[in-house]
């Protein structure tokens, strides 16, 4: 006996099939490099707020500021009614992130390794979250070209200067960068030698340690210069004044987000730092 055919009507609701990235129209970006990538991908029109580390490009500074990325509060963010949050993986505290998830807001953590591969991964993860995969290919290609040009300008035969990166200046000691830090990675890319490579993270170094390390150049970020009038005042501090860097007057000050952010401007950061490190004394 022939069995009667069964027919089933399937109704497809297009809105339900849209990925979250396409549906999201109220975007919050947390982390300076993440925000830079959102702009570079052409998705800035969806931003409703950023965190306080998002200082570039200039239009980002005119958006509502939700606070420092590691000291967030969920309530002000929820008040903006975001439908997607892309954030640096170290954003927090965990309680605030848990509260945002519990409220039903999609969160996408963006990896933050301070390496060239890490920047590419950061770009692609952000693009995937936003549905801008094609733009990511072009941005990664631009990053590679700019980085190659910056590295090509470093004379392979030239002596590599010894560099101390200082995050914070004190009269008797300096908070210096060791290996595994973004500062260590950018110094290496720019053709320098980090004198703090024998310790990890950040460590206070006194005059005796710095004299033994013999840095040729001191590198720091703009915010560390608050309270000092000029380079001469910094290099005259007791912990630095007997170093080769102080004798040569070599203090390099760069924008913190550009130097340490490991974002889409990495090629520019390497070019600027390499130019300063390898300039004639």
168 and 273 both lie in a single domain: yes
d(CA 211, CA 205) in angstroms, rounded, equals 10
| Neighbouring C-alpha atoms within 13 Å toward the C-beta of 150 | 26
pLDDT of residue 120: 98
Domains of the chain: total: 2
30 and 72 both lie in a single domain: yes
- The secondary structure of residue 251, as a DSSP letter, is E
Range of the domain at 134: 18-151
Question: Of 151, 185, 204, which residue is a domain's last?
Answer: 151
pLDDT of residue 158: 83
In a domain, 251, yes or no: yes
In tens, the pLDDT along 157-214 reads 788 999 999 999 987 889 999 999 999 999 999 999 999 999 999 999 999 999 999 9
| Neighbouring C-alpha atoms within 13 Å toward the C-beta of 63 | 28
d(CA 104, CA 107) in angstroms, rounded, equals 9
Q: Give the number of other Cβ atoms within 10 Å of residue 225's Cβ.
A: 16
In a domain, 192, yes or no: yes
111 and 197 both lie in a single domain: no
In a domain, 2, yes or no: no
Question: Of 151, 174, 198, which residue is a domain's last?
Answer: 151
Listed as ranges, residues in the chain with pLDDT below 50 are: 1-21
- 176 pairs with which residues across the strands? 166, 203
143 and 178 both lie in a single domain: no
Give the pTM: 0.89
133 and 202 both lie in a single domain: no
- The secondary structure of residue 163, as a DSSP letter, is E
In tens, the pLDDT along 216-233 reads 999 999 999 999 999 999
112 and 195 both lie in a single domain: no
In a domain, 222, yes or no: yes
Question: Of 91, 123, 151, which residue is a domain's last?
Answer: 151
pLDDT of residue 35: 98
pLDDT of residue 252: 98
d(CA 100, CA 7) in angstroms, rounded, equals 44
In a domain, 13, yes or no: no
In a domain, 4, yes or no: no
**Helix, coil or strand: residue 186:** helix
CATH of the domain at 243: 3.40.50.1980
72 and 183 both lie in a single domain: no
190 and 246 both lie in a single domain: yes
pLDDT of residue 23: 58
Q: How far is CA 231 from the centre of its chain?
A: 25
């Amino acid at each position: 006996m022939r069995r009667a055919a069964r027919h089933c009507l399937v109704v497809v609701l297009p809105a339900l099939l849209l990925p979250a990235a396409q549906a999201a129209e109220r975007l919050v970006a947390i982390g300076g490099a993440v925000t830079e990538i959102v702009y570079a991908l052409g998705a800035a029109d969806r931003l409703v707020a950023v965190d306080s580390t998002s200082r570039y490009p200039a239009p980002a500074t005119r958006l509502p500021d939700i606070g420092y990325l590691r000291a967030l509060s969920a309530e002000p963010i929820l008040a903006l009614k975001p439908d997607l949050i892309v954030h640096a993986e170290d954003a927090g505290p965990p309680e605030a992130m848990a509260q945002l998830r519990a409220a039903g807001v999609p969160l996408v953590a963006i990896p933050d390794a301070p390496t060239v591969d890490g920047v590419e991964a950061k770009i692609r993860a952000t693009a995937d979250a936003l549905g801008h995969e094609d733009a990511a290919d072009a941005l990664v290609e631009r990053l590679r070209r700019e980085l190659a040009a910056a590295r090509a300008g470093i004379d392979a035969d030239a002596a590599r200067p010894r560099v101390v990166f200082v995050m914070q200046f004190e009269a008797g000691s300096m908070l210096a960068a060791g290996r595994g830090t973004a500062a260590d990675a950018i110094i290496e890319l720019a053709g320098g030698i980090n004198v703090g490579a024998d310790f990890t993270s950040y460590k206070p170094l006194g005059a005796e340690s710095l004299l033994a390390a013999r840095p040729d150049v001191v590198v720091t970020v703009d915010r560390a210069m608050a309270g000092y009038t000029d380079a001469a005042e910094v290099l005259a501090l007791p912990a630095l004044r007997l170093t080769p860097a102080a004798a040569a007057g070599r203090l390099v000050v760069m924008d913190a987000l550009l130097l340490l952010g490991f974002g889409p401007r990495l090629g520019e950061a390497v070019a600027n730092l390499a130019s300063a490190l390898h300039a004639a004394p």
